[in-house]
A and B are shown apart, each in its own frame.
Chain A
């Protein structure tokens, strides 16, 4: 008994020791006050005792931004792309001397795509790390965070949350550098209508982010006189989708519009081809990753599969410049992610406040105004220092937030060719005006 008790005490002591180490590590990070490489205009930071005043820059040190992305789960590959692009953006911002609030420090957390985890992680970022903005949540997590963002007055921004729910909830503290899913639906519909198909089947994963664009695409396809043989909404997570595919394949459509996640999508594609389908595919953004070729088998989709996603205009000088600086600029949502963190940094620089409400109050003006055109943080910082207002033109295109905090978007269609995605069509934002 005594021996057991001693063993238990040892375990308890070890845990306590680990906790103390954790606490000490965290404390070090909490009080880190490395000064930025340079102060704006060479001014000295105000003394710590000074109350914050609008005309004085806040205490220079670090300003924390939360990066809340799915690093695991079905959207893990997108989360990594977004987090990497943000990290690259932060590197550029800090290399330019950081904001007037100090250099940018990021705190990265994995949501796994889960809303409750997102709320808990975001709360930690705000309460424990003092984050002024949280960047990168997916649709479901963004919706879950709307209330928290407004309550805590912290800006949340996503480069890929197209959910139409945000068309109503977004706008104040809630922004996205990507267009609504309805735009994806319009682009998909336009592509399907232009291919000369006589019949198309729709296979839609039962998610709001896939159903909404599919409904819009269906309207466009029906409007162009194409026969919709099936509109099947399936639940993900099944070992097989034969039941859904049996009816779809029986009608022998010319093409299948598959709006599904990576897990279900891979199985659907394999089973459809095994079931004799030899028509063309149009996938949605979830499948716009190179890993899909390994998962499905490139030979099954080469030349017959297309994918649609919101994308930057590759002809824009801002994108070309971004591409020259960042190797992974072509990854889905990388330009949108870079723009997101640059916008927040410029808003911090412009607002005179080092908190979420400061960012929220000026971010629309920074993104779109009659001021000096800038495309990097360094340019924006210099213009602001000169007393100019700025208009940030992003790598993903012009960023004009509408009432719901959403930008209008451009879309790319890529084709599977020799085991990789290749651009075949680009729809600029002007395609869908009116």
Chain B
């Protein structure tokens, strides 16, 4: 087993999805908003990056827009697109609470997924956008995969630091107050609606950037990559890591990706053994989730890190 390769993949994907989990943590654990459609904002970022870097359509391409812009511009466009999408979807949905908000955000994500599947002029329909531009061609002695892992880790650390700073500020305490008792916060002069919308918009920005990075990493923007399953994985990571701490969100995501990667990296040399492994993978994953939820190791690590500060 190549542990270095596992490490690089875990850092890359763990950081990309870690950004999304951090944003969900901000929305749910601090803003009190249950977002079951978080994959849609991730997808918007990925598609925006792909569309802005993609060359103009040719041959069998069915999409109409391909701007061929440089990757830094496209990455900013990805974050901006997610922000705009959050502004559009947040306006009607954030009037709702609890399970109603959860259902509405889920519905929005499904509508968006269906749009990506059926509207070929934007994202090439079910085929999606392939060969998405990678910004890296020659980094000298550093291999591309390390650059990617570093870029993803930087984005995650930046997100973590910004969110932590935000949550430790008076603004963060106001958020906690709203989460704990809306009526009391209102009585203290805090605008619940406005603050919830702000949190929703702020958290969409890194999700969009992570989506752009994900499109770079996979070189793909396809509807099949952005199903509700991604939302559930992010939620599982959040639950595994413990929802009350930004470190827990990161630990949960990394733990989840690490487990997946270790299982997948195991070299099966016969068809039969690979078939058996494919069959039992979900069972083992489920059992591990139960064990982690029972013992909550990531939550404890996060709490310990918090306590030592």
Enumerate chain A interface residues (CB-CB to B < 8 A). 7-8, 11-12, 19, 22-23, 25-27, 29-30, 67, 71-72, 80, 83-84, 87, 105-110, 112, 114-117, 119-121, 123-124, 127-129, 140, 143-144, 146-148, 151, 163-165, 167-169, 206-208, 211, 235
Contact = CB atoms under 8 A, between A and B. Distances in A.
B1 A84 contact: no
A26 B278 CA distance: 18
B270 to A, nearest CB: 7
Given A140-B224, A144-B220, A124 B264 contact: yes
Contacts of A163: 127
A26 B2 CA distance: 8
Given A112-B278, A128-B265, A146-B130, A23 B220 contact: no
B125 interface: yes
Contact of B225 (A115, A151, A165): A115
A134 B117 CA distance: 28
Contacts of B126: 206-208, 211
B270 A87 contact: yes
Interface of A is mostly: helix
Contacts of A124: 2, 5, 9, 264-265
A211 B163 CA distance: 45
Closest 4 CB pairs of A and B: A26-B1, A128-B2, A108-B274, A110-B278
A128 B225 contact: no
Interface of B is mostly: helix
Given A108-B271, A121-B264, A128-B5, A168 B59 contact: yes
19 contacts: A7-B295, A25-B1, A71-B274, A84-B271, A106-B269, A107-B267, A108-B268, A109-B274, A120-B261, A124-B9, A127-B2, A127-B5, A129-B267, A140-B224, A144-B219, A146-B130, A168-B60, A206-B125, A211-B125
Contacts of B25: none
B274 A83 contact: yes
A25 B268 CA distance: 11
A149 to B, nearest CB: 11
A229 to B, nearest CB: 22
A71 B275 contact: yes
Interface in B278-309: 278-279, 291, 295, 297, 300
Nearest to A233: B118
B191 interface: no
Q: With a 10 A CB-CB cut-off, give which of A26, A27, A108, A143 has the most chain B CB atoms.
A: A108
B127 A165 contact: yes
B169 interface: no
Given A108-B271, A110-B278, 7 more contacts: A19-B262, A26-B1, A87-B270, A106-B269, A123-B5, A144-B222, A235-B114
B269 A108 contact: yes
Interface string B124-154: 0111001100100000000011000000000
A147 B131 CA distance: 6
B232 interface: no
A208 B60 CA distance: 11
Contact of B127 (A71, A84, A208): A208
Nearest to B261: A120
Q: With a 10 A CB-CB cut-off, give which of A7, A29, A165, A235 has the most chain B CB atoms.
A: A165
Interface of B: 1-3, 5, 9, 13, 59-60, 114, 117-118, 125-127, 130-131, 134, 144-145, 218-220, 222, 224-225, 261-262, 264-271, 273-275, 277-279, 291, 295, 297, 300
A181 B98 CA distance: 47
A83 B271 CA distance: 6
B60 A165 contact: yes
Contacts of B9: 120, 123-124
A96 to B, nearest CB: 19
B298 to A, nearest CB: 12
Contacts of A168: 59-60
Given A84-B271, A206-B117, A110 B277 contact: yes
Contacts of A115: 218, 220, 222, 224-225
B2 A109 contact: no
A165 B131 CA distance: 11
B3 A108 contact: no
A146 B9 CA distance: 19
A22 B278 contact: no
A27 B1 contact: yes
Contact of B130 (A25, A114, A116, A143): A143
A421 to B, nearest CB: 23
A164 B60 contact: yes
Contacts of B2: 26, 30, 124, 127-128
A235 B125 CA distance: 12
A6 B118 CA distance: 55
A121 B273 CA distance: 16
A412 B248 CA distance: 56
B66 to A, nearest CB: 14
